[in-house]
Structure 1
Amino acid sequence: MLSSREEVLKLTDKLVNIESVVNTVGEIDIANSLYHLLDSLPYFQKNHSHLVKSRTEDDEIERYNVLAFVKGTKVKSNKTVILMGHIDTVGIEDYSHLKDKACFPKELMNALSCENLPDLVHEHLDSGEWYFGRGVLDMKSGVASHLYLLKYYSEHPEELVGNLVLLAECDEEDSSHGVLSALKDLKRWKEEHQFDYQALINSDFVAPRFEGDEKRYIYKGTVGKLLPSFFITGSETHAGSCFEGVDPNYIAAELTRQISYNPDLCDESLGETPVPPVSLKLTDLKPTYTIQTALSSYVYFNFFIHSWSPQDVLIKLKDQAEIAFNNALKNLKERHRKYCERSGMSYSDLPWKTRVLIYEDMQKLLVEQYGEQFIQHMNKFKAKLLLDKTLDTRMFAARVVEEEWNWMKDKSPAIILFYSSLYSPRIELTGKTEREQNLLDALDHAIEVVQPYYPYPIVTRNYFPYVCDMSCVALSDDEEGIRAVSENNPSWGTKHYVNYQAIREINVPTINIGPYGYDAHNRYERMEKHYSTEIVPNITNEVICRLLGMDSKQTIKHIDDKKAKR
């Protein structure tokens, strides 16, 4: 086994000590620190062009990726493995009075020892086998594992067949500007150095799937994520005459009841089932208080997919929206009837009908009706809207739909369905290509070699259950699936754009071998030292060796001998 524990812990500390919260200057700080760390190594001092700090593109925030590669000299080969990990973190506000210690694991653990902790957290802290702090799990210990391997092969390129690339990317926790921008660098190196990308190994964190789960998971693909969004229009009325209109919040509530937590919307594939969709925002668009009902509401949902395409999801959710609209109107009419009976009012049927539109269909209708006049107006509207930096892509999209709705001749209540944020494509690794099968074989071999050194079962699953940047290095969708995203995102080409063709050009098989722990994005974030600093780099190294045609046993022996001399 590689004697990696102490060095990976040391590298983890170096990274964690830099507060690199996403969308802050900390992302610049950690990129600078990592760049200088690598630049200090003899290999990169001799090979300056093998190390770059690359600024993100089409990004409102200044931040950088760090990329480096080592060329092996043992046998000339173009085969290349990419090691990827993100260097940003979520915020530290959840640490409250311990915020100043959140990025200093030893100080934090000393302070936590004086706190009243949950039993399991207390047990882990007392054991000395767990490391606490913001980013130790998600995912700086994973990056440290990659750095450890890159550093070794930079010192011994004569043992490396082919090439090893490191991509330490920013902005994973928000909009993936980092990895999407890095695609150009990976493509450039592919062309300049004839790199033949065999696989990408990500190092995002893994965690128990349920209470009492002792398995350590390696993921062969990743869940996809969409943000289906609904602009809901009603018919405004005075609250004292509520049945004379339709409250869009009432429809939105029924839509949320229909979609949130609905197991019928779980995309089961390869024997695995993601969690159902859940609402991430529900609001009306009234700017201030009035006694009138709202004119429109807005709701969007997290939606995980394994095999469905974005087009599939639009079709399924249009059906769900129609069910919700029908139910809302049915209940509204029944309540109106009961109210009339109680109040002595004369009863008459309410005029409202179910109406659900997919965004691209509404837009096509408007272009047919108004032509260039509508197109030019919306181009100017979007350009002006871009000046409002308080709007994220989701609210930007809502405002675009709201403006386009104003052009509709038929303004009877409706639901408009669209996408309002980044689509993170799903990835399946099934062995359908030679490279996929090679990666699967290498992973199986690596687990077989390393498992005897670890007491808990190391097992594989098909889909990483959280959103991660693996989605941005390979593409399972066809052109129709991507078209459904671009044609149904109102901010596409202005506030939001993804070059999915660039992903398709890299399209490298990918797996996730990451640190193990608990409570990522929580004040008790922690990683298990043994697995994260020893097992992870060993499995990763075995996969690299198998893919590049190296004798891992010789490499491990050399590393162990070198450590013994120290």
Structure 2
Amino acid sequence: MLKTYEEVLRVTNELVNIESIVNTEGEIDISKSLAKTISSLPYFQKNSSYVFTSRTIDDEVERYNVFAFVKGTKGDSNKTVVLMGHTDTVGIDDYNSLKEKACLPNELHEALKSEKVPPLVREHLESNEWLFGRGTLDMKSGVASHYYLLKYYSEHPEELNGNIVFFAECDEEDSSHGVLSGLTDLKRLKEEHGFDYAALINSDFVAPKYEGDESRYIYKGSVGKLLPSFYITGAESHVGSSFEGLDPNYIAAELTRQIAYNPELCDQSLGETPMPPVSLKQTDFKETYTVQTALASYVYYNFFVQSWSPKEVLEKLKIHAEMAFDNAITNLNNHYKRYCEISGQEYAKLPWKTRVLFYEELEQSIIVEYGDDYKEHIKIFKQELLKNKALDVRMYSARVVEEVWKWSKDKSPAIIIFYSSLYSPCVEVTGKNEKEKNLLMALDYAVEKVQPYYDKPIVQKNYFPHICDMSCVAINVDEDSVNSVINNNPSWGSKHYVNYDAIRELNIPAINIGPYGYDAHNRYERTELKYTMEIMPNLTKLVIDKLLNN
């Protein structure tokens, strides 16, 4: 076991002290600082081209990834392990009056001691076995661990029969511009230096799965993520004649009741079950108050996938959308019938019919009808819409659907299903090829060697339960499934683009050995010192040694 504790803790504090909130200039500051620190090491003074920063591609924000690599001298193997972690963080507004101390772990620790905090937080504050602060857990301590190993191997290249690549990425917390841009650099390094990528070790945070859970988890892959989105049109009416129309918000509410938290939409695989879908936005498009019901509403849901393809998810959600639409119409008729009874009016069944379309279906029908006139119009519309920098990719997509809908001859109420953001593929390491078998063997070896030095169980699981950028280095779904994402994403090629072919070309087996702690993205964010500063880097080192030297 290497004595890593003091050095990893020191570097963690240095990184946390740099406020590097995603989409701010702090992302530039931390990349410059990290690159300068690496460049100062003797190995990189002799090999200055082995460390560099790389600006993200097709990104409205200026920011940089940091790369560095060490070539082993033990043998002539080209096998290479990538050590990846992100340097950006979420914001610090949740710290409220302690905002100025959010990135100063020692000062924050003392300040929190004088506050009223939950019992477990109090216990951890008093124990002095935890490091508090923004980024301590998610995930600058992980980057610090990887830096330690980069430095170690730069001093001991004779221990490597192969190479390691250090990859500190930006923009993990928003749109993954960092890792997606980094694919180009990884490919270039592969071509220029002959690197054969044997594995990627990510260092995102791990946490208890339930109250009282003492396991420290290592993940052999990650859940994938989709953002299925629904544009819902209705039939407007005056509030004084509400039954004459169909409120799209009413349908949206039923859709959320049908989909959100529904365990039937959990994609179980390899004995593990991800969280069910949950609503992340639900709104209509009325900009001011009127006594007219809304013309359209919009809702999207987080959706984790393990074995289901994007195409399968669309098909499943169409069924649930139809069920929701049916239920909304049935309930509305029941309400109307009861209203007629108590108001003395004659009841007649309302005219609404269930109608659910995929975005691809809607657009293709319009292309058949209008051809090049529509294509030219929507191209110009998208270009103009891009000028509105306030629109994120999700709202941009909704505005495109809104415009496309205007061209539809059939304006009867409908639900239009599409994707409005990044598709992050599921990553699995199951031993399906030689590289995966070697990685699993190395991981088993590392856990067996380190476990005696730690009193809590180190447990391997298949899927990292929160989305992470491992999903951008490997892909298992076929081209047809990817096309279902492309053809049903209104922002594709304008506001949003992912080179899935580049991911497929690299396809690096990926695991996650990360810092352990609680409350990531929370003002009580903290990491356990012993596991994070000592156990984690030693686990990672043993995996590297076993992979490259056997």
Q: Shared fold (TM-score greater than 0.5)?
A: yes
| Band of TM-score, shorter chain | over 0.9
**Cα distance in 2 between the residues matched to 1:217 and 1:529:** 16
The residue matched to 1:76 in structure 2 has which SS? coil
Cα distance per residue 1:462-516 (max 9 Å; x no partner) = 0000010000000011101110110000000000000001111111000000000
Per-residue deviation, 1:74: 1.5
The residue matched to 2:426 in structure 1 has which SS? coil
Q: What residue is the counterpart of 2:87 in the other structure?
A: 87
Q: What residue is the counterpart of 1:389 in the other structure?
A: 389
The residue matched to 2:114 in structure 1 has which SS? coil
Q: What residue is the counterpart of 1:120 in the other structure?
A: 120
Q: What residue is the counterpart of 1:448 in the other structure?
A: 448
The structure 1 segments of at least 4 consecutive aligned residues displaced by more than 3 Å after TM superposition are none
**Cα distance in 2 between the residues matched to 1:521 and 1:505:** 33
**Cα distance in 2 between the residues matched to 1:388 and 1:72:** 49
**Cα distance in 1 between the residues matched to 2:245 and 2:320:** 23
Letter in 2 for 1:198: A
Letter in 1 for 2:349: D
Q: What residue is the counterpart of 2:326 in the other structure?
A: 326
Q: What residue is the counterpart of 1:242 in the other structure?
A: 242
Unaligned 5+ runs, structure 1? 551-566
Per-residue deviation, 1:288: 1.3
Q: What residue is the counterpart of 1:103 in the other structure?
A: 103
Per-residue deviation, 1:193: 0.4
Q: What residue is the counterpart of 1:47 in the other structure?
A: 47
**TM-score where L is the length of structure 1:** 0.97
Q: What residue is the counterpart of 1:360 in the other structure?
A: 360
Per-residue deviation, 1:347: 1.5
Matched residues, number: 550
Letter in 1 for 2:42: P
User: Does 2:40 correspond to 1:6?
Assistant: no
**Cα distance in 1 between the residues matched to 2:264 and 2:243:** 33
Letter in 1 for 2:300: Y
The residue matched to 2:32 in structure 1 has which SS? helix
Superposed, which structure 2 residues align to 1:149-548 within 5 Å?
Answer: 149-548=149-548
**Percent identical:** 69
Unaligned 5+ runs, structure 2? none
Letter in 1 for 2:197: Y
**Cα distance in 1 between the residues matched to 2:211 and 2:190:** 44
The residue matched to 1:77 in structure 2 has which SS? coil
Letter in 1 for 2:316: K
Letter in 1 for 2:259: I
**Cα distance in 2 between the residues matched to 1:237 and 1:306:** 43
Per-residue deviation, 1:128: 1.2
Superposed, which structure 2 residues align to 1:67-86 within 5 Å?
Answer: 67-86=67-86
Per-residue deviation, 1:375: 0.3
**Cα distance in 1 between the residues matched to 2:72 and 2:347:** 83
Q: What residue is the counterpart of 1:554 in the other structure?
A: none
Q: What residue is the counterpart of 1:25 in the other structure?
A: 25
Per-residue deviation, 1:44: 0.8
**Cα distance in 1 between the residues matched to 2:299 and 2:261:** 15
**Cα distance in 1 between the residues matched to 2:117 and 2:351:** 58
Cα distance per residue 1:110-151 (max 9 Å; x no partner) = 111111121111111111111101000000001100000000
**Cα distance in 2 between the residues matched to 1:112 and 1:281:** 33
**Cα distance in 2 between the residues matched to 1:61 and 1:467:** 22
Per-residue deviation, 1:428: 1.1
Per-residue deviation, 1:348: 1.4
**Cα distance in 1 between the residues matched to 2:243 and 2:231:** 21
Letter in 1 for 2:319: D
**Cα distance in 2 between the residues matched to 1:336 and 1:523:** 48
The residue matched to 2:429 in structure 1 has which SS? coil
CA RMSD across the alignment: 0.6
Per-residue deviation, 1:344: 1.1
The residue matched to 1:225 in structure 2 has which SS? strand
**Cα distance in 1 between the residues matched to 2:117 and 2:302:** 32
Q: What residue is the counterpart of 1:560 in the other structure?
A: none
Per-residue deviation, 1:520: 0.4
**Cα distance in 2 between the residues matched to 1:382 and 1:119:** 52
**Cα distance in 2 between the residues matched to 1:105 and 1:388:** 38
**TM-score where L is the length of structure 2:** 0.99
**Cα distance in 2 between the residues matched to 1:432 and 1:129:** 40
Is the Cα contact below 8 Å between 2:160 and 2:549 reproduced in 1? no
**Cα distance in 2 between the residues matched to 1:332 and 1:471:** 42
Q: What residue is the counterpart of 1:557 in the other structure?
A: none
**Cα distance in 1 between the residues matched to 2:327 and 2:74:** 69
**Cα distance in 2 between the residues matched to 1:129 and 1:287:** 51
**Cα distance in 2 between the residues matched to 1:327 and 1:156:** 67
**Cα distance in 2 between the residues matched to 1:253 and 1:474:** 36
